[in-house]
Amino acid sequence: MPEAGALRLRSERRLSSTGVTKLTDVAGLAQRIEPEVKCLGYDLVRVAMIGGTSDPTLQVMAERPDTRQLDLADCETISRRLSEWLDSNDPRVINNVLGAIRNIVPADGTSLVNALIAIRTINPQPDQIILITDGLPTQGSVPPSRKFINVRDREKLFDDAAKTVTRDLPMDIVLLPMKGDLLAAHAYWRLARKTGGSYVIPSRDWP
């Protein structure tokens, strides 16, 4: 939309009253939205709430820092990013995801390398990973041909997976250790340290 001699994005989205920030806190919304816009290479121009309490709508305007203009592709890129950001912070979406997770029944072995491969396919890429695990992996990228695996082979599977991890994606690790998996604590500590993430082993009575 033309404004002040420049073509800028104006993206609108209706919000629920249970959003990430109070709808009346426009400054707070702008502070949280600006990093999302900046990471795409644009400057945030304005954030506004319109529609009143009956139909609250978030309005965002942005521009390229060099030309102060945008084309349709830029508008689609920013709109998609902000929609995904809003969805990821929507309590209803979070509750739906948690509900789906609770219905997952663990089966067969665990593959850390496949989890890391799946993470690399996410678009946009996450800026942080929270890994909750009970020990070293028991599978590589393909299911094993034998039924049992020893601790040294599990350690090798972990090391092979850890080699694919880059330092620009922090991994916060919550380890719920199983008895007998003595190498897991040190292995996951090294992984958290390598990526600049945090490392937690909850106590028996947590939470």
Question: What is the DSSP code string of 12-56?
Answer: EEE--TTSSS-TT-HHHHHHHHHHHHHTTT-EEEEEEEESTTTS-
Q: Are residues 90 and 109 in the same domain?
A: no
Predicted local confidence at residue 72, as pLDDT: 83
Q: Domain ends where: 96, 127, 151? A: 96
Q: Within its chain, how far is the Cα of 107 from the centroid?
A: 25
8 and 92 within one domain: yes
Taking the chain (207 residues) in runs of 10, the rounded mean pLDDT of each run is 35 48 69 88 86 75 87 85 78 80 79 91 85 91 83 93 88 87 91 94 71
Final residue belonging to a domain, choices 79, 96, 113: 96
CATH number, position 64? 3.30.70
pLDDT of residue 90: 73
- Is 0.85 surpassed by the pTM of this model? no
- By residue range, what is the domain housing residue 170? 105-200
What pLDDT was estimated at residue 81?
A: 84
Can you give the pLDDT at residue 87?
Answer: 74
What CA–CA distance (Å, rounded) separates 173 from 186?
A: 12
Residues 28, 88 share a domain: yes
pLDDT score, position 20:
47
Residue 207 lies in a domain: no
Which of 74, 96, 118 finishes a domain? 96
List of residues 6+ apart from 19 with CB closer than 8 A: 86, 89, 90, 91
